[in-house]
Structure 1
Amino acid sequence: MIQQLAVRLAMCASLALCGHASAATTVNNSQLHTWWHDTHELNNSAPVADNAVRRSTVYDVRVATDAAQGAQYDSYAYMSIPRGGRNKWGYSDNDGAEFADSANLTMSWSSFVYGTDVWVHITLKDGSSISSANDVKIRPSALNFQKVMVDSHTIKVKVPYSSKGYRFSVEFDNQLYTAYNDMSGASGALNSAGTGNAVHTEPRNAMLVFAEPRPAGDEATRLVPTSASGSIHYPAQGMVNNLDTITQEIVYFGPGTYYMPWNYHAKLPASVKWVYLAPGAYVKGALQFMSETQGVFKVTGYGVLSGEKYVYEPDTDNYYEHRAQSNCHASCVKMLRFTSTNSQQYLDLQGVTISEPPYHSFVVYGNEETFQMRVENYKQVGSWYWQTDGLELYTNGSMKNTFFHSNDDVLKIYHNNLDIDNTVIWKNENGPVIQWGWTPRNMDGVHVKDTYVIHNKMYWKDEKTNTCVVNASTHWDPNGQPDANKWVRNIYLENITVEGMTNCALRLYALQNTEKVHIKNLLVDGWNDVGVSSQQSRFTKMAAGLAIGNETTSSAGLKLENYRVGGQYVTKAGGNWQGSALGRLNFDGALWDNWNAWVGSGAP
């Protein structure tokens, strides 16, 4: 740590790298709101100062409305780097960030609020260049945004206004690299040197744009606190280590930079029902709501909550140092933590960007059936470590218009009556995209629509049971047993697009009775080069006594409607579904009548 600090101080000797650079021009009106952090560091290799915000060393961003294209405004380009620029701090075990660190991966992003069509200008400042607009791709590709080359270092992208906003990746061809599996040992290991078999191609230096709508009218009342919303505590910029004893109902982080010590996270008193992170707020820390009886919680605003100061798996039972026990699920810091009782509770989670979670980003303890969530325009970036899951939605929960960079299970659909729509996902190595396994469950009525997997590095050469695009994993406990008294039914997953190469489509290990699982319009661009044996999809039941819906006679089994690989439809009748064929479906032969793959009417 001392050596890294010396490096950072040396870098900060130049005002071009740290502190107050030339003033930026921002705007805040009904049509466009951008922001800036004067105290920043252009630093891609070490921790930044507590009162500074890391600024992208690769990209600059400016935004103009379509109606006034000559008036361009700065939009801060944040940057995340693996482990926040630290070496492993007090541990030597693998933490999931090894490949990202060795390959010098970074993730930049810029957020702004808008109310009209805009042009987003992204400028390369690392010395690389482009020769045409075709040298730049926008993902999800389905957006098909207009692109114009401004000069050899700048592209501008037209972003039409949408009340849903847009979350997308801007990818310069000169930033692309390919991850390979070196095929060593049981699973292989990732490398970027070209050793072994290709896994996936993605930008080495990611650039994300989050164009978000401005809440207005009743939505503004619901999402932006005022004095009419309750008593408000306004933390001062700088160190924040005193939120455990406040008496107000609302914590309002205004624009600016705040940091909690590495050995502290906020245990918000029972009075606190709402935390607001204003656009331009950058808070280094984590939030735990101590109330178990609050009726309505809120975490809203377009600010950033960053876990960059925490070590991987920061264990409160070990003074916030890396865990000293085999499992710290109960004691490790979560970016957002709640506790629920038998009384019905609600959470509005809107707008915020979670950056560099050191462990799970979000957890609810207690009665999961009485904690209903409404999630909107949430983002998660810089998830380099293992166990940086996406969100688990609880009974009757909804989520829409989100982005996840995740290194574990992303969409955890473990409960009843869930509605998830319009999710963009950048997937790291660990876990699947959609997960409902790990233990026998009762689930009924889950709808997941419009999921865009723009990148993934799922690379294993052996057949893991907790990977693929869609997964119901085997039991987490080696001694755990299936349960014939439980049912998973009425699961509808539609419009899943997987761009680039991936490892496998689905592995479903039924730990309970299962019926009526419908996967419609799953599109996989293509399989990676690791090998057919690692790409097999599975469908099996984990005990003979479990009931699986019959698809042949009752239309109650597993439905794969309009499943495509590389643009070709995979059908049961067409004979291209087998484990070594295009579809890679190596299902249990005993379940022949429990599934079907076909092209439905109105197929894309």
Structure 2
Amino acid sequence: MWSRYLALFIAASPLTSIVVADVIAPGNQTANIGSLTTWWHNTGEINYQTPVQHGNVRQSHLYSAWVKSSADSSQTYYNSFVYETIPRNGQGNIITPGDPSSVTTADDGVTIEAAVWITMAWTQFLYTSDAWVKISRHGNANVTAANVVIRPNNLGVKVTDDGQSNIYVFVPYNSAGLRFSVEFQDNLYTYRDSCAGPVCDFVQNWVPNGPYYVSGFTDNNAVMGTEPHDALMIFASPPPSSSANLVPDVKAPQTYVVYPGDVPVSALASASNTNVYFMPGVHEMTATQHLKLSSSVNWVYLAPGAYVKGAIQFTTSASSIKATGFGVLSGEKYVYQANTAQGYKNVGSNGDSLRIWSGYSTPGQQQTFTLTGVTTNSPPFNSIDFTGDLNSISISQWDYKQVGAYFGQTDGTTLYSGSNIHDVFYHSGDDTIKTYGSDITVRNVVVWKTKTAPIIQYGWQPRNIENILVDGVDVIHMHYSSNGSHPSIIGANQQYDVKETQTNTADTSQSLRNATFRNIRAQGIGGNLMRIVPLMNYENVLLENISLDQFSVRSNGIYQSELPSWTDGSGKAVSMSGFVINNFSVGGTRITQAANNYGPNAAGGLNIAPEYLANGRVVIK
């Protein structure tokens, strides 16, 4: 158990001290003062090893937080609850919900994370002016500003300390909110792999009886990423304006109010109300049920301080579907791939495995799913998917947060045609920004990527899509373990369930047109720029202003980008025109054709079909 804290006892950086006014509200007092709203859970359970008790919320074992508003004349720091999520939620890799004996060795995306007690904490508050967040770390006095890094580092967030083992994070007001990581440099974990070939996984030397243990690291165990062992995220959000129609009337007859306790799943399945309002407190479903709402319900609201354990499915044909509020929807009680057709057991199915948010898109009825404010924790599978007519559903998403995505296949949001997302945070264990439709806009996304799949994905099948803009992505961490699943910033995988060696699987009647991916920063060690299987024609595709700090290792090929030639079943080649890579850099070095540093064995690591480069169909400048 003491190995859990090894990273905390590394010597900290020299002290940098600035005195900050420090008036702490008595007890667990929260703010509701107009310029600041915080909340608390009296049933917080400090436990990073096992499932928490019924009615409890997992509370950070390491961090405490208080917030004050610059507009508050009292200069008081108010308590802000610090949540925590852990790999597998303490259940182990099991098949049957609630049965710890049903252990399986099947891959669930978690390798060493549970064994070495990786955690992710977060706190959230609402603010209308600049704020200060005071953070203390239990059991350790070496807490100084010099020991802290904020990611992304371009938000205007500043850190100081008081010389008394507390740090103070200045959070400037932003009308779109801010989502960032506070990282203590004496609390980092280095991920190393076991690669002797293209497919491998991480290894650890902490727990001798744990999985993937090695007694000591060698040169064959390359560093694949360095991240906080115990992450801490800060989510600062503006409250919704009264004119935004984002808070339903709790007293209106069309509103079904859900109070803390067990969720009335059967009642809500037949309710005639249009709105469902979860009050502050803990709401629980069992591990073998989820909330399938009646067709009349088109709006779910999670109040600040509402913590809902379960998953929510819409069935409405309303043109506007909404999930709003600043509560949490947590999948922590479910096993991996919870299969709704097989008793929510760990049995993978693209059709039946549970999504935390899901719905049915009515054929021929244009619908928009608005998702804002909420935090999704610990998805057991894809996070947000619709079925039905996928040509008539779009996603509108902002100030959304996804945490605890340690399982594999924990994707980001599926973006159908007409979708618009901005100012979100994704911790994702699979495809993250899924641009599967046309007329999509994505702006200002922060991504923490685990070991599987590209960050931006538009592959898995030929698609006829156009007018895609992804502008502004900060990848604050990624730790790819191997070369097995397109470890890329931008990717388009081969057809689903088809080997990548089948190079005649394109559909040349379909095209990707007018797509721009720009202003993307990947910090730290990463994979590569792109792995693209061109399953359709390409016309006017721009990759611009993309930087990657450092490739992982060259021996296993993760660094290498791929854009090969492809054909359809009759041998007709995919058409490629106007594919431009402009201002791509690795480690500060710009990669261009003119500098001749772009190739697979050069600084850029770009393995592009020679005929594309020779004919100017692909240009690197």
> TM-score surpassing 0.5?
yes
Determine which of 188, 200, 207 is the counterpart of 1:188: 200
Q: CA 1:159–1:402 in 2, change beyond 3 Å: closer, same or farther? A: same
SS in 1 for 2:107: coil
SS in 2 for 1:419: strand
SS in 2 for 1:469: strand
1: distance between equivalents of 2:493 and 2:253? 44
Mapped contact 1:57–1:126 kept (Cα < 8 A):
no
1: distance between equivalents of 2:487 and 2:319? 36
User: Cα offset for 1:52?
Assistant: 0.4
Determine which of 107, 114, 118 is the counterpart of 1:101: 114
| Aligned position for 2:360 | 339
User: Cα offset for 1:157?
Assistant: 1.0
Q: When you count helix as a share of all residues, which structure comes out higher?
A: 1
Confirm whether residue 60 of structure 1 aligns to residue 64 of structure 2.
Answer: yes
Cα-to-partner distance string for 1:52-81 (whole Å, 9 max, x where unaligned): 000000111111112447300111100001
Mapped contact 1:520–1:563 kept (Cα < 8 A):
yes
Determine which of 587, 591, 603 is the counterpart of 1:570: 591
Cα-to-partner distance string for 1:418-451 (whole Å, 9 max, x where unaligned): 0011100000001110001110001100001110
| Aligned position for 2:28 | 24
How many residue pairs match? The answer is: 562
Q: CA 1:408–1:370 in 2, change beyond 3 Å: closer, same or farther? A: same
Mapped contact 1:230–1:250 kept (Cα < 8 A):
no
Counterpart of 1:494 in structure 2: which amino acid? R
| Aligned position for 1:262 | 287
Mapped contact 1:511–1:541 kept (Cα < 8 A):
no
Mapped contact 2:250–2:277 kept (Cα < 8 A):
no
Mapped contact 1:182–1:197 kept (Cα < 8 A):
yes
| Aligned position for 1:11 | none
User: Cα offset for 1:156?
Assistant: 0.7
Q: Give the root-mean-square deviation of aligned CA atoms.
A: 1.7
Counterpart of 1:388 in structure 2: which amino acid? T
| Aligned position for 2:309 | 284
The 5 Å alignment of 1:101-500 reads 101-127=114-140, 129-130=142-143, 132-184=144-196, 186-193=198-205, 194-195=217-218, 196-219=221-244, 222-226=245-249, 231-240=254-263, 241-242=265-266, 243-291=268-316, 293-323=317-347, 327-340=348-361, 341-460=363-482, 462=483, 464=484, 466-478=486-498, 481-500=505-524
SS in 2 for 1:533: coil
1: distance between equivalents of 2:450 and 2:345? 25
Cα-to-partner distance string for 1:23-45 (whole Å, 9 max, x where unaligned): 41101132000000001101111
Determine which of 67, 83, 86 is the counterpart of 1:81: 86
2: distance between equivalents of 1:519 and 1:185? 30
Mapped contact 1:198–1:530 kept (Cα < 8 A):
no
Mapped contact 2:66–2:77 kept (Cα < 8 A):
yes
1: distance between equivalents of 2:541 and 2:251? 46
SS in 1 for 2:608: coil
| Aligned position for 1:548 | 575
Of 53-62 and 586-595, deviating more is 586-595
Counterpart of 1:451 in structure 2: which amino acid? V
SS in 1 for 2:488: coil
2: distance between equivalents of 1:322 and 1:502? 31
2: distance between equivalents of 1:32 and 1:44? 29
Counterpart of 2:175 in structure 1: which amino acid? S
Mapped contact 2:64–2:136 kept (Cα < 8 A):
yes
Counterpart of 1:297 in structure 2: which amino acid? I
Q: CA 1:152–1:586 in 2, change beyond 3 Å: closer, same or farther? A: farther
| Aligned position for 1:6 | none
Mapped contact 2:553–2:559 kept (Cα < 8 A):
no
SS in 1 for 2:557: helix
2: distance between equivalents of 1:270 and 1:109? 34
| Aligned position for 1:16 | none
Counterpart of 1:149 in structure 2: which amino acid? D
| Aligned position for 1:40 | 44
Confirm whether residue 539 of structure 1 aligns to residue 543 of structure 2.
Answer: no
Counterpart of 1:70 in structure 2: which amino acid? Q
Q: Percent identity over the alignment?
A: 33
Counterpart of 1:233 in structure 2: which amino acid? Y
Gaps of 5+ in 2: 1-25, 96-102, 206-216
1: distance between equivalents of 2:573 and 2:594? 27
Q: CA 1:66–1:531 in 2, change beyond 3 Å: closer, same or farther? A: farther
Counterpart of 1:226 in structure 2: which amino acid? D
Mapped contact 1:23–1:38 kept (Cα < 8 A):
no
| Aligned position for 2:53 | 49
Deviating beyond 4 angstroms after TM superposition, the runs of 4 or more aligned structure 1 residues are 227-230
Gaps of 5+ in 1: 1-21, 551-555, 599-604
2: distance between equivalents of 1:280 and 1:534? 42
Mapped contact 2:508–2:575 kept (Cα < 8 A):
no
Q: CA 1:45–1:311 in 2, change beyond 3 Å: closer, same or farther? A: same
User: Cα offset for 1:227?
Assistant: 5.7
Counterpart of 1:82 in structure 2: which amino acid? P
Mapped contact 2:196–2:556 kept (Cα < 8 A):
no
User: Cα offset for 1:563?
Assistant: 0.6
Of 185-194 and 201-210, deviating more is 185-194
TM-score, normalising length from structure 1? 0.90
Counterpart of 2:123 in structure 1: which amino acid? S
Mapped contact 2:452–2:485 kept (Cα < 8 A):
no
TM-score, normalising length from structure 2? 0.88
